[in-house]
Structure 1
Amino acid sequence: MQPEIVRDERGGATVMLDGHPQSYVDLDDPELLVFEYVEQFATVLEALRPDPAPLATTHVGGAGMTLARWIHRRHPGSPQIVLEPDTALTELVRRELPLPRGHRIRVRPQTGQEGVAGLRDDSAEVVVVDAFQDGQVPGELAGQAWARELARVLAPGGLLLVNAADRPGLRWVARLGATLHTQLPHVGQLVLREVDKGKRFGNVVLVCSSAPLDDVTLTRTAARATFPTRWRPAAEVTAAARRAGVQPFGEVGEPSPAPPDTGRLGLR
């Protein structure tokens, strides 16, 4: 199926691919973040990068470029690279949901692996990974080879934000976190409370850095989120993984578990 744009009565638009929503965009209000994990991305940036100075950001996965638009609004002049291999999708978004004036968002028709491999060392202050295939994170974007590449392009003290998804128990997310931990020693999680309690399949945002994360600020901002959200500090995540005997993935990881309904995943 070809990608399409579905507009609603509020003036916003949902980007659809293969019958499933991929992004929600409001051209008049780029700070409106409808999907919970996109709000979680923004929550981290609000908490840890409150200065409105430009942020050099690389996005792996683009779709409607909701977060890229948000960063442009909150951090004007930010140089942003979006790696989105679906050229038909990008052309539709450019035509129907044009990017704002004065943006510095550059879309490259490349997969995450291809695009990141071509980036300079320490070139990104923020890297956002939000790439799904048929509702799953590909194994190639979960292994140690990928983790090394992400750490290479991330500037010292920079932030890596990863949108993952898992079934109750979050075993796959724990292995992904352990894999990223081999390259970036501080890996925390933002997670909806009902997902954290094992009540349903859902998204988890992993927050990774070579520098310690501000747990106090992240805990407070998570408590103010629209959706009931919990911040799991890096020390807690690491300790829980050790108690459970969680092992990192190998050079190439495993795909995340297939969701019961792909329509809510991979939304950008």
Structure 2
Amino acid sequence: MDLADPEDIFYEYLRRIGHIVDLAAPWGEPIRALHLGAGALTLARYIQATRPGSVQYAVELERELLDFVLERLPLPDGTDLHMVIGDARAALAELPPDLRFDVVILDIFSGPEAPEHIACTGFYQEAAALLSERGVLIVNVGDEPGLTLVRSQVAALRRAMTDVAACAEAGMFTGKYPGNIILAGTRKPWPPEWTAALTARGPHPAKVLAGVELDRLSD
């Protein structure tokens, strides 16, 4: 991670998420963002760098991890980030009731052992209720060949959101490789221009599935 240039994201799957954030709201326009699974706070730094003045919340189950990250990788001056220690689903009910987010980013899934109380339609419905009118629910799904978890999450997210798309390195959609697929749920129909933009922005080779093309990934 380059602390001097938070806009330069190293990991490909995080770059794809950053591109979706860029489509949800223009550069320079402050947003409200909720991070479920804080990790190294890479995307929180990216949002602050590209949209100064944004209000962000980060939920992390492991206090030790968050303390380590903040000690070794301090946030940029001016970052308005509220930390919540606890379970991602339980934390939703503890947020201020009037808060609505332009992006909600879930990044806790890694393989088929995903927490059942989070990898389900009920959780996505609760998260969707926190979105603004233009809000996007972004889910990183790390999975193994066969994409069992991806398929179940596409189906669950489709039951909670108006529309859903999937974005990844093109080879991931063959189901032959382990890796990450990014799902994005919207409150309005998925804009076709977003498919073109995400495909063009990469990392390459990039592929986006939406509409009937996504049916083959839905259980």
TM-score for both structures, normalised by structure 1: 0.75
- Name the counterpart of 1:15: none
- Name the counterpart of 2:199: 222
- SS of alignment partner, residue 115 of structure 1: helix
Between Structure 1 and Structure 2, how many residues are aligned? 218
Shift of 1:133: 6.6
Contact preservation (8 Å) 2:105, 2:137:
yes
TM alignment of 1:147-226, pairs within 5 A: 147-226=124-203
Give me the whole-angstrom Cα distance separating, in 2, the residues matched to 1:101 and 1:220. 31
- SS of alignment partner, residue 207 of structure 1: strand
TM alignment of 1:126-145, pairs within 5 A: 126-132=103-109, 136-145=113-122
Contact preservation (8 Å) 1:82, 1:105:
yes
Aligned AA (1:123) = R
The counterpart of 2:93, out of the listed 117, 126, 135, is 117
- Name the counterpart of 2:28: 52
Shift of 1:29: 1.1
Contact preservation (8 Å) 1:187, 1:208:
yes
Q: Return 78-87 or 115-124, whichever deviates more.
A: 115-124
* Higher helix fraction (1 or 2): 2
* Deviation by residue 1:51-87 (Cα, 9 ceiling, x = unmatched): 4211101000002100000000111111000001211
Shift of 1:136: 4.2
Give me the whole-angstrom Cα distance separating, in 2, the residues matched to 1:198 and 1:40. 19
Higher RCO (CA 8 Å, separation ≥ 6 residues): 1
Indicate the percent of aligned positions where both proteins have the same amino acid: 28
Contact preservation (8 Å) 2:170, 2:207:
yes
Q: What is the CA RMSD across the aligned residues, in angstroms? A: 2.0
Shift of 1:126: 0.8
Shift of 1:98: 0.6
TM-score for both structures, normalised by structure 2: 0.91
TM alignment of 1:80-95, pairs within 5 A: 80-95=56-71
Q: Return 64-73 or 218-227, whichever deviates more.
A: 218-227
Gaps in structure 1 of 5+ consecutive residues: 1-24, 247-268
Shift of 1:134: 8.1
Contact preservation (8 Å) 1:192, 1:229:
yes
Larger Rg: 1 or 2? Answer: 1
